[in-house]
Amino acid sequence: MITISGEGLTLSDIVAVAQGAPVRLSDDAAVLSRVAASQGRIEKAVAGGEQVYGVTTLYGGMADQRVPVERMVELQHIALWHHKTATGPRLPDPDVRAAMLLRANSLMKGYSGVRLELIQRYVTFLNAGAVPQAYQRGSIGASGDLVPLSYIGASVIGLDPAFLVDWNGETLDCHAALARLGLEPLVLRPKEGLALNNGTTASTGVAANAMGRTVTIFALSMAVQAMLAEALLATSQTFHPTIHAIKPHPGQLFVAGLFRDLLAGSSLIRSEAAGDRGHRQGALIQDRYSLRCLPQYTGPIADMLALAARQIVTEANSANDNPLVDPDTGETYHTGNFLAQYTGVACDTLRAQLAMLLKHLDVQIAMLVTPEFNNGLPPSLVGNTGHGLNMGLKSLQLTCNSVAPLVQFYGRSMVDLYPSHAEQFNQNINSQAMNAANLARDAVEASEHFLAAALVFAVQAVELRANAVRPGFDASDLLSARNAALYRAARTAALGPADAARPLLWDDTEGFIQDKVEGILTDLRQGPAIRAALAPTLVDVAAFFGG
Asked if the peptide bond before residue 92 counts as cis, ω within 30 degrees of 0, the response is no
Please tell me which residue, 377 or 417, carries the higher pLDDT value: 377
Confidence at residue 418, expressed as pLDDT on a 0 to 100 scale: 74
Model confidence at 160: pLDDT above 80: yes
Q: How confident is the model at residue 333 (pLDDT cuts 50, 70, 90)?
A: very high
Q: How many CB atoms lie within 10 A of CB 509?
A: 9
pLDDT in tens, 312-329: 999 999 999 999 999 999
Residues 229, 483 contacting (CB under 8 angstroms)? no
Highest mean pLDDT among 49-53, 153-157, 426-430: 153-157
Q: How far is CA 374 from CA 227, 283, 288, 377, in A?
A: 13, 11, 11, 6
**469: confidence class by pLDDT, cuts 50, 70, 90:** very high
Is pLDDT of 374 > 80? yes
414-460 pLDDT tens trace = 888 777 776 666 666 677 999 999 999 999 999 999 999 999 999 99
More confident position, 423 or 116:
116
Query: How far apart are the C-alpha atoms of 188 and 201, rounded to whole Å?
Result: 20
CA 245, CA 328: separation in Å to the nearest integer? 48
Give backbone dihedrals phi and psi of 325, rounded to 5 degrees, phi first: -120, 120
Is the pLDDT assigned to residue 278 strictly greater than 60?
Answer: no
State in Å, rounded, how far the first CA of the chain is from the last one: 17
Percentage of the chain beyond pLDDT 70 is 96
Nearest to 204 by CA among 85, 101, 303: 101
H or E stretch covering 94: helix 93-107
| Rounded Cα–Cα distance for residues 422 and 13 (Å) | 35
- Cα-Cα-Cα-Cα torsion 124, 129, 134, 140, nearest 10 degrees, comes to 70
- Which residue from 278, 235, 287 is spatially nearest to 259, judged by alpha carbons? 235
For the annotated catalytic residues, the residue numbers are: 53
The pLDDT of residue 285 is above 90: no
Instruction: Give per-residue burial for 228-237: e unless 16+ CB within 10 Å, then b.
Output: bbbbbbbbbb
d(CA 10, CA 208): 9
Asked if residue 70 has pLDDT above 90, the reply is no
pLDDT at 129: 98
Given phi > 0 = left and psi -120 to 50 = alpha, else beta, which region is 110? left
Q: Are 112 and 149 in contact (CB under 8 A)?
A: no
Half-sphere exposure of 211 toward its Cβ, with a 13 Å CA cutoff? 39
DSSP state letter for 504: S
Is 222 in a helix, a strand, or coil? helix
Residue 258 in contact with residue 225, Cβ under 8 Å?
Answer: no
Q: What is the mean pLDDT of residues 479-503?
A: 97
**What residue type is assigned to position 59 of the chain?**
Y
pLDDT category at 50 given cuts 50, 70, 90 is confident
- Give the 3-state secondary structure of 408-465: HHHCCCCHHHCCCCCCCCCCCCCCCHHHHHHHHHHHHHHHHHHHHHHHHHHHHHHHHH
Decide: 258 and 222 in contact? Cβ < 8 Å. Answer: yes
Q: Which residue would you say has higher pLDDT here, 67 or 235? A: 235
Task: Give the whole-angstrom CA distance, residue 336 versus residue 345.
Answer: 16
Q: Are strands 332-333 and 324-325 parallel, antiparallel or unpaired?
A: antiparallel
Q: What's the confidence (pLDDT) of residue 544?
A: 97
Mean pLDDT of the region 474-497: 98
What is the SS3 assignment for 232?
A: coil
Residue type, 222: M
Q: Measure the CA–CA gap between 466 and 268, rounded to whole angstroms.
A: 9
Beta bridge partners of 137: 87
Taking the CA of residue 112 as centre, how many other CA atoms within 13 Å lie in the half-sphere pointing to its CB?
30
User: Strand, helix or coil at 475?
Assistant: coil
45 pLDDT above the threshold of 90: no
Of residues 131, 132, 107, the one with CA closest to residue 200 = 107
Enumerate domains of the chain plus CATH numbers.
2-199 (1.10.275.10), 211-270+290-545 (1.20.200.10)
Q: What is the pLDDT of residue 494?
A: 98
Arithmetic mean of pLDDT over the chain = 94
Q: Is 243 helix (H, G, I), strand (E, B) or coil?
A: helix
Task: Classify 383 as helix, strand or coil.
Answer: coil
Displacement of CA 73 from its chain's centroid (Å) = 38
Report the distance separating Cα 225 and Cα 19, nearest Å.
29
| Residue 189 DSSP symbol | -
Q: Three-class SS of residue 461? A: helix
9: closest CA among 109, 100, 71, 102? 102
pLDDT of residue 507 exceeding 70, the answer is yes
Among left, alpha and beta (phi > 0; psi -120 to 50; other), residue 275 is left
pLDDT value of residue 423: 67
pTM: 0.95
Going by C-beta distance under 8 Å and a sequence separation of 6 or more, which residues neighbour residue 248?
A: none
Phi then psi for residue 292, to 5 deg, are -70, -25
Question: In which element (H, E) is residue 37 found?
Answer: helix 29-47
